[in-house]
Amino acid sequence: MRIGVDGRELAGSARTGIGRYVMEVLRAASRDGWECVVYGDARTRPVTLPGVTLRVLDGRWTQCWDQVMLPRQLARDRVSAFLSPYYKGPLFAPCPVVLTIHDLFFLDYPGRRRPLHRAMMTRVARLYARRATAIIADSEYSKRTIVERLGITPASVTVIPVALGAEFRPEPGTEAVRSRYAISDPYILYVGNFRPHKNLPRLIRAFAALDAPLRGRHVLVLAGGDRANRPALEALAKGLGVADRVVFPGQVHDADLPALYSACALFVLPSLEEGFGLPALEALACGAAVVAADRAAIPEVVGDAGLLVDPEDEAAIAAAITRVLSTPELRESLRRRGLERAREFPHDRTAGAVLALLRRVSEPR
């Protein structure tokens, strides 16, 4: 079995969720003795795994790389099946193509009206989806959205949840990590980017609405390297008089995330839209109590292991935060339930399911 994988996400020192997904699949394929050809460009770093080969294709124009260079090389390499970690892939490939559609933000970003862009990208995405042999979605919510928006049959979409890294588990000895990011008080944690769909202005306003004694005992930590959207949040915190209680530690190193999750008093994910909601799962796996939005795919991930709230109701967010921080028995119960919930997402399940799908589509029909 020889598979091809689009490896352009493995660029330099940058680490992304899609990059982690690609590496999990490559590691599993290598362990199973499969041959893997990773197709990249000049920025793609080599992958040092048995049976894995990097093929650098010269193509400065993305469409040329996707639709001309890649199909030619797939034919030369006699690849059995090709995995794209994106919504797009070669339209005329010499082998079955499996796409991975994490969400449909590229069609119509929440809160931004671009009708011409939406119409054009929807037509393009429908073409890619209909030409693909199979499509992977992260959640049942994403599957329903893909089927509805792209007009494809439900049978062509397979739900494979995002992999939870094995490193996400309760981690003691977190003082050094807290010191590194200048976090001293008990803290409420958010991890992610600061784009509008993450709903952080409402979280900041909910934090500002907490009773003064409770707010005075905690800080709100918004962890993420989103420099473009950070100033507006800082200005909001200042305007509400809580700038000294809202901490922006910047980008947190991957190795520090388990400790940061483990030490928080509460993790909050108030997003209006998520194709999966991986930070909530990571927090559960590290033993954090979780309050999360009752929207999109988040309830699928959190289940009954966290408190789900209406993310557009600031009073409800504040009430849930207050309830968890003021009730040690509830917080401990949520921690236990979260650890149990996280065990339903073993780190090797995703990669194994992806390999099974690749094997299935490569079999003669």
What gap in Å lies between CA 96 and CA 134, rounded to an integer?
8
Residue 52 belongs to a domain: yes
Residue 169 belongs to a domain: no
- Same domain for 302 and 353, yes or no, is no
Residue 145 belongs to a domain: yes
More confident residue, 15 or 259: 259
- Same domain for 193 and 141, yes or no, is no
How big is the chain, counted in residues? 365
The pLDDT tens digits of the residues spanning 149-170 come to: 999 999 999 999 988 888 999 9
- Same domain for 303 and 352, yes or no, is no
- Same domain for 126 and 216, yes or no, is no
The reported pLDDT for the residue numbered 348 is 83
**Which pLDDT band, with edges at 50, 70 and 90, does 13 fall under?**
low
- Same domain for 130 and 230, yes or no, is no
The reported pLDDT for the residue numbered 2 is 96
**Which pLDDT band, with edges at 50, 70 and 90, does 146 fall under?**
very high
Q: What is the CA radius of gyration of the chain?
A: 22
pTM for the structure as a whole: 0.89
Residue numbers of the domain that contains 95: 2-163+347-362
Cα distance between the two ends of the chain: 16
Sheet holding 97-101, edge to edge: 52-56, 35-40, 2-6, 81-83, 97-101, 134-137, 157-159
The pLDDT tens digits of the residues spanning 19-42 come to: 888 998 999 999 999 999 999 999
Domain with residue 245: its CATH number is 3.40.50.2000
Residue 226 belongs to a domain: yes
* pLDDT for residue 182 is more than 80: yes
What gap in Å lies between CA 72 and CA 79, rounded to an integer?
11
Q: Which residues contact 294 (CB under 8 A, 6 or more apart)?
A: 308, 309, 310, 311
What gap in Å lies between CA 283 and CA 260, rounded to an integer?
9
